[in-house]
Structure 1
Amino acid sequence: MNHQARKRFGQNFLHDHSIINDILSYAHPQPGEHWVEIGPGLGALTNPLLASGVDLDVIELDRDLVARLQKQFATNPKIAIHSADALQFEFSSLAKNAEKLRIIGNLPYNISTPLLFHLLETTCCIEDMIFMLQKEVVNRICAQAGSKQYGRLSVMIQYYCDAEWLFDVPPESFHPAPQVMSAIVRLTPHAAPPVPIADLSAFGTLVTQAFSQRRKTLRNSLRNFISADELSALGIDGELRAEAITLAEFAKIANALASKTEH
């Protein structure tokens, strides 16, 4: 391995073949499917994905790695290499003829949350997403109301996707070894939203505000949005904190506010 991992890109290269095989057994790529790999790095997942017969787009920010990948796969017509920042990339541009993309990647820890929010904007053209993330982030994604890990990330991702923790990945599976445990999560966009929401942008603002000061009760954190009496009329206790409020209850608050602004 003659590429020096770059800290500024959050690079930790997966090299454990048993972990790679486990990821692929869960992913179960099939010939003819259209896959997108974010941050292919040294190609640990890229090679076996191509071997399975999929059409593959890879998105890599590090230009040295782009040059390396272009050389490595120069004669393979099944792969397209994009030298781009995944945070800015228009994933919907890759989906042709109403097909659904399958997305995979070992996401850099330093951009994982904004990247997940970016991808949520294009779930209409995504079949599923299988990501390696910091285990703490996977815990937050999958957390249910009432737990300490539950927060904005949990609520927003669970509105768009079914989230499934698959397995943990130890630090020694990477070079260089990160300081934290990693985990694999599968996110499958819902065929229909689990709860109706009148204004998604306003819903996102409400959830962000509710969790911005986690220790405050709803009546305090949302006082500029809704009164304690109005919360009570919706069957929600204003003395509760945001971490106790379910996705359905956040939707109920957001929809009540939306109907109020219509009148």
Structure 2
Amino acid sequence: MSIIERMLAALRPETGDPVVEVGPGLGALTLPLLARLDRLAVVEIDRDLIARLESQQLNGLTIHPGDVMQFDFDALARELTADTEGNGQAVHSLRVVGNLPYNIGTPLLVRLMDCQRMIRDIHVMLQKEVVDRLHAEPGTRAFGRLSVLMQSVFEVTPLFTVPPSAFDPPPKVQSSVVRMKPRSDAPDAETLDALQACTRLAFANKRKTLRNNFKGHLDDKALIDLQIDPQARAETLDLPAFHRLAKQLRHT
């Protein structure tokens, strides 16, 4: 089974699904998706690639030119849902797919985290190192700020690894395909802002203790009251501990 076939098998698109592909490129995933969907939205910044897609006059394809980091996923979710269901209810509707460029993979996921209420699921190919960080467990080398943020908002499931030989030319790194689905208990926007601030402080210097990284924000007593060892390092804490820290910072 090819990489594209495996991605489609994981996605299992249905005809009326509101799907957006990030970075369609030459259309390796775009065309098979269109064969299974009534329509497909794609976001592409490269004008030459846009022209190639436009020249094919593909039925059901809507091209959104521009930088995906500036793209309004909320508006697209509302538009697609209003057109297909007639009610504009976009909560947990949008399906995001794509082979993400390595330079925007992490920043884009952080953006999608902010509009997770509009997203049903995400199926993307990323650098394997990033996927390792997304689902890393506390106490491991890969566990960090990205792990805490993403796992607080999404259920993260690595699906399969893609070797460099699958690409032409082959990159110097391995890739992985990952599925991310919004958690039913994901933090609200205010809590998420606090969690971002909390993790920024906690992981400011991974070699330093929490006492040092939170200096001027939380003292030893505050950390101990939260059942957190001031001499511990951020990568040893579990998600509930970070959520307690975030909640405390909101009220400090």
What TM-score, normalized to structure 2? 0.92
- Closer, same or farther in 2 for the Cα pair 1:75/1:244, shift >3 Å? closer
State how far apart, in whole Å, the 2-side matches of 1:197 and 1:104 are.
24
Task: Kindly indicate whether the alpha-carbon contact (under 8 Å) linking 1:198 and 1:255 is maintained by their aligned counterparts in 2.
Answer: no
- Closer, same or farther in 2 for the Cα pair 1:219/1:75, shift >3 Å? closer
Q: Which residue of 2 aligns with 1:107?
A: 100
Q: Which residue of 2 aligns with 1:36?
A: 20
State how far apart, in whole Å, the 1-side matches of 2:97 and 2:146 are.
19
Question: After superposition, what is the alpha-carbon deviation per residue over 1:20-53, rounded to whole angstroms, capped at 9, x for unaligned?
Answer: 1111101101111110000000101001101012
Please state whether the residue corresponding to 1:163 is helix, strand or coil.
strand
Please state whether the residue corresponding to 2:2 is helix, strand or coil.
helix
State how far apart, in whole Å, the 1-side matches of 2:108 and 2:167 are.
21
* Structure 1 runs not aligned, ≥5 long: 1-16
State how far apart, in whole Å, the 1-side matches of 2:192 and 2:76 are.
25
Query: Paired residue for 1:225, among 217, 223, 241?
Result: 217
Q: CA RMSD in A?
A: 1.5
1:59-138 residue pairs with structure 2 within 5 A? Answer: 59-72=43-56, 74-76=57-59, 78-96=60-78, 97-99=88-90, 100-138=93-131
* Structure 2 runs not aligned, ≥5 long: 79-87
Task: Kindly indicate whether the alpha-carbon contact (under 8 Å) linking 1:197 and 1:255 is maintained by their aligned counterparts in 2.
Answer: no
State how far apart, in whole Å, the 1-side matches of 2:235 and 2:38 are.
41
State how far apart, in whole Å, the 2-side matches of 1:82 and 1:198 are.
30
What TM-score, normalized to structure 1? 0.88
Q: Which residue of 2 aligns with 1:180?
A: 173
Matched, 1:212 2:196: no
Structure 1 segments (4+ residues) deviating >6 Å: none
Count of aligned residue pairs for this structure pair: 241
State how far apart, in whole Å, the 1-side matches of 2:124 and 2:168 are.
18
Q: Which segment is superposed worse, 202-211 or 122-131?
A: 202-211
Please state whether the residue corresponding to 1:110 is helix, strand or coil.
coil
Please state whether the residue corresponding to 2:223 is helix, strand or coil.
helix
Q: Which residue of 2 aligns with 1:51?
A: 35
State how far apart, in whole Å, the 1-side matches of 2:114 and 2:224 are.
32
State how far apart, in whole Å, the 1-side matches of 2:64 and 2:119 are.
18
Q: Which residue of 2 aligns with 1:6?
A: none
State how far apart, in whole Å, the 2-side matches of 1:44 and 1:112 are.
19
Query: Paired residue for 2:184, among 191, 194, 200?
Result: 191
- In the alignment, residue 131 of structure 2 is paired with which amino acid? V
Q: Which residue of 2 aligns with 1:12?
A: none
State how far apart, in whole Å, the 1-side matches of 2:169 and 2:47 are.
20
Seq. identity, %: 44
